[in-house]
Amino acid sequence: MKKFSTTLNKNITIPSLIFITGICLLSAFYPDLTENMLNSVKNFIFVNLNYVYVWSVTIFVFFLVYLMFSQYGNIRLGRNDSKPTYSFFSWISMLFAAGMGIGLMYFSVAEPMQHYANPIFSELSTTQRAKNAQIYTFFHWGIHAWAIYGVVGLSLAYFSYRYRLPLSLRSCFYPLLKEKIKGPWGNTIDVFALCSTFFGITTTLGFGVIQINSGLEILGIMPGTGFLYQALIIGVLVSLSIISAVSGVDKGVRILSNINVVSVVLLLLFILILGPTVYLIGSFTEGIGDYMKSFLSLTFKTHVYEETTQSWFYDWTILYWAWWISWSPYVGLFIAKISKGRTIREFIAAVLIIPTLFNFIWMSVFGNSAIWLDIHTADGMLSQLSDNPDALMFRFLDYFPFTKFISLLTILIIMIFFVTSADSGIYVMNNIATKNAPVSPKWQTIGWGILLAILALMLLNAGGLRALQSMTLITALPFSIIMLLFIISLSKALIIDKDYYERDISVSTIPWSGGLWRERLKQIVSFGDKESVKEYLHTTVEEAFNSLQEEFNKNNISSKINFAPDKERIEIEIHYDIVNNFIYGVKIESKVISDYIFDEDNLPDSDDKKRFFPKTYFGDDREGYDIQLFTKDELISDVLKHFERFITIVSDDSSKLFITSNANHKYK
């Protein structure tokens, strides 16, 4: 009999499942009671603690902007020589699909139209209401939303790939909690992340199913919008999500995300070209200017002096900030997973600017088209549907040619967004529950998908989605505080990181002696071939390392000399149990010689297109340098300078985070 295996961590999985199923059962069996109770808590938070959301999101935005332009922007999310795992297009496609997905389709017409038709703005002119609708939509779907995702994603990617810690929220607390992240504190953080992720995905997918069902009914493909039809939709889409999740990020998620981005662009161009094109381009241009002009006032605005719009502020801005925060563990984990090898500046610029710009274009084209049609063609019919967002998108498409085909394309896009959101969510939940296990049995992935489908169906049938949505928004308050701690933790780590890699060698460079000037000139004006550099490694370098090893032994320091199988790399290593090993190595490197060298008489001669040279490397991935002009004694001195630097750093308590970053031992 095949042994049953699992990578689930019981200290995370069991408490999470108890809490998730408990809340879902309450929402399913007592939907009204649970919704009223959770709504009361949510409303109290939104009214009395809304400033926590306002200030938190503001700090997230300015922190990321600062990092992007600071000296820390060049730090890579991984080793200094690491390269991005995915192409730029695939990377953007995946983070975009996971971060907004269904929401863009659901609110692209509904939100601008709801702002435009809201009675609290009825005293304003039609033009001003249309401009307000655009700028508020920009505000809710712009830089602020992506800054929330960016803080979590950047923290996770940095601590996971830079410090080799697990891709888990607990790792973001390492500078503050140190080894305590392995115990109950770390488990509590991961339980919170797993529950928040599950609630956010379940409610969003539930509303996505309702919109798909509504569209299929309008097109006459499904006869109604009852529970049985919704169950059928969930069954099919979750099955596809499981298949995609089992195939992995490199296949299912990436391929579907790329397909969806292309489909979305085609739909966007269709509405732009066949809609009021000049009006759309002009309103988008003016909207960007209004957004930039009002950025700071919108960021800090709490409507405390405007009682008539305070309820709108709670129902829209604060709800959105809470919603994005509640989704940030899931989206942050996913975009961190796909962002290895990017620099901090590249990560922030892409996450803040590219999706934001696309959101603005998308919302302008769909939202402003709907408002223009409502004024000039629909005679207010779309405004009257503003309270029915499930059907509003499809009624909007009735005013365009090829209605049925475009509506089918829209439903297909929503379905693919559903699948990409669900499969990446399944992947993330399994990642959290297993403490980032590299390989998990397929039954676990399937199990998370089935659980997601069952609880979503149960809540749809009982009308408990609103209650679960309230629970999701409530969890955003404590997580906003956790995210502020992420910033403190990340700031501390970045300061140490920069200091570590840029700390100068304490001993001054040994000046060249005049007695060796002829030998040095000869080396300068000639290009080394591979054999001569290999000879240098096994004479000068090896002799220097042997002499050092002998002296280390005399001083009770155990060291060893390592050779690469191809004899093109040699290093001296001092092993430590707690801190990272000290390594000073030399390897053969090459550079391509420019063509003009061969035609210039007064430049060094070479019979080959490549120049070979000995280059240093170190155990902490710092950039090495050419040592072809070093004598044996100078090389020994250079090793000792780096060893002295190493001893100074490991003796400094503030460097504990970096030097115990698990380079020597596998994290457990």
Terminal Cα-to-Cα distance of the chain (whole angstroms): 29
The model's pLDDT over 221-265, given as tens digits with 9 standing for 90+, comes to 887 777 788 888 888 888 887 877 777 555 556 676 677 778 888
For residue 79, what pLDDT is reported? 83
- Cα within 13 Å of Cα(237), Cβ side: 30
Residues 139 and 32 in one domain: yes
pLDDT(279) > 90: yes
Does 554 share its domain with 622? yes
21 in a structural domain: yes
Q: What is the pLDDT of residue 344?
A: 94
532: pLDDT strictly greater than 60: yes
Cβ proximity of 455 and 467 under 8 Å: no
Closest CA to 323 of 102, 486, 491, 110: 102
pLDDT > 70: what percent of the chain? 87
Tokens matching residue 589: 């490197």
pLDDT attached to residue 526? 56
pLDDT at res. 511? 44
Closest to 528 (Cα-Cα) out of 588, 456, 582: 588
Q: Which of 403, 141, 161 lies closest to 267, judged by CA?
A: 403
Instruction: Taking each helix axis as running N to C, give the angle between helix 632-651 and helix 542-554, from 0 to 180 degrees, rounded to the nearest 10.
Output: 50
CA distance 619 to 331: 33
What average pLDDT does range 167-179 have in this prediction? 85
Which residue's structure tokens are 């309702």? 210
Query: Residue 317 sits in a domain of what CATH number?
Result: 1.20.1740
Digit-coded pLDDT (tens) for 31-72 = 888 888 888 988 899 889 999 999 999 999 999 999 999 999
Last residue of a domain, one of 444, 479, 501: 501
Residues 654 and 588 placed together within one structural domain of the fold: yes
Has residue 3 been placed in a domain? Answer: no
Query: For the chain, what is the domain count?
Result: 2
For 399, residues 6+ apart whose C-beta sits below 8 A from its C-beta are 373, 377, 378
Q: How do residues 122-133 score in pLDDT, each as one tens digit?
A: 888 999 999 999
Winning range, highest mean pLDDT, from 91-105, 342-356, 384-398, 645-659 = 342-356
Residue 78 identity: G
Residue 463 lies in a domain: yes
Residue 456 pLDDT greater than 50, yes or no? yes
Cα dist. 505→114, 239, 510 in Å? 62, 58, 12
Q: Is the pLDDT score of 562 beyond 80?
A: yes
Highest mean pLDDT among 298-312, 507-521, 598-612: 298-312
For 129-151, write each residue's pLDDT tens digit. Answer: 999 999 999 999 999 999 999 99
Same domain membership, residue 523 and residue 496: no
The per-residue pLDDT for 525 is: 53
User: Do residues 492 and 518 share a domain?
Assistant: no
Check whether residue 628 and residue 581 sit in a common domain. Answer: yes
The answer, yes or no, to whether residue 365 has pLDDT greater than 50, is yes
| Residue 100 pLDDT exceeds 70 | no
- What is the C-alpha to C-alpha distance for residues 270 and 275, in angstroms, rounded to an integer? 8
Section 201-229 average pLDDT: 79
Specify whether 257 is located in the same domain as 112: yes
What's the whole-number mean pLDDT along residues 289-301? 93
% of the chain beyond a pLDDT of 90: 27
C-alpha span between 497 and 505 (Å, rounded): 16
pLDDT at 8 > cutoff 70? yes
Token pair recorded at residue 156: 């996770």
Give the SS3 label for residue 557: coil
Give the per-residue SS3 of 191-231. Answer: HHHHHHHHHHHHHHHHHHHHHHHHHHHHCCCCCCCCHHHHH
Residues 6+ apart with CB under 8 A from 494: 67, 72, 75, 158
Structural domain ending residue among the three candidates 475, 501, 527 = 501
DSSP string of 36-61?
HHHHHHHHHHHHHSHHHHHHHHHHHH
Split at pLDDT 50, 70, 90, the class of 116 is very high
pLDDT exceeds 80 at position 396: yes
* pLDDT higher than threshold 60 for residue 458: yes
C-alpha–C-alpha distance, residues 375 and 279, integer Å: 13
Same structural domain for residues 493 and 538? Answer: no
* Cα separation, 470 vs 40, whole angstroms: 9
pLDDT at 521: 61
Q: What is the pLDDT, as a whole number, of residue 601?
A: 52
pLDDT of 654 > 80? The answer is no
Q: Do the domain assignments include residue 1?
A: no
Query: What pLDDT is recorded for position 608?
Result: 59
pLDDT for residue 666: 38
**DSSP assignment of 325-371:** HHHHHHHHHHHHHT-TT-BHHHHHHHHHHHHHHHHHHHHHHHHHHHH
The confidence score (pLDDT) of residue 490 equals 94
Residue 569 lies in a domain: yes
Of the two residues 331 and 494, the one the predictor is more confident about is: 494
User: How high does pLDDT run on average in the chain?
Assistant: 82
Closest by Cα among 94, 93, 422 to 242: 422
Confidence of residue 368 (pLDDT cuts 50, 70, 90): very high
Q: Are residues 279 and 394 in the same domain?
A: yes
Q: Answer for the pair 325, 479: CB distance below 8 angstroms, yes or no.
A: yes
Q: How far apart are CA 285 and CA 360, in angstroms?
A: 10
* 448 domain-assigned: yes
What is d(CA 449, CA 432) in angstroms, rounded to the nearest whole number? 15
Tokens of 228: 């049985």
Asked if residue 274 lies in contact with residue 267, where contact means CB atoms within 8 angstroms, the answer is no
Q: How confident is the model at residue 428 (pLDDT cuts 50, 70, 90)?
A: confident
Q: How far apart are CA 373 and CA 71, in angstroms?
A: 49
What is the structure's pLDDT at 47? Answer: 87
* pLDDT for 642 beyond 70: yes
pLDDT tens by residue, 577-622: 777 789 999 999 988 765 555 555 554 555 556 778 899 999 877 8
- State the average pLDDT over residues 338-344: 89
What values do phi and psi take at 513, rounded to 5?
-90, 145
Using pLDDT thresholds of 50, 70 and 90, give the confidence band for residue 519.
low
486 burial (CB, 10 Å; 0-12 / 13-18 / 19+) is buried
Nearest Cα neighbor of 485 from 181, 84, 109 is 181
Q: Can you tell me whether residue 611 is helix, strand or coil?
A: strand
Please name the residue ranges forming H helices in 377-464: 381-384, 389-397, 403-433, 442-462
User: For position 207, what pLDDT does the model report?
Assistant: 73
- The whole domain housing 586 covers 514-659
pLDDT beyond 80 at 510: no
Of 501, 525, 543, which residue sits at a domain end? 501
At 420 the pLDDT is 74
600 in the same domain as 471: no
Q: Which amino acid is at 389?
A: P
Task: Evaluate whether residue 524 is within a structural domain.
Answer: yes
- Residue 509 falls inside a structural domain: no
User: Do 364 and 481 lie in a common domain?
Assistant: yes
Q: Are 336 and 459 found together in one domain? A: yes
- Amino acid in position 330: Y
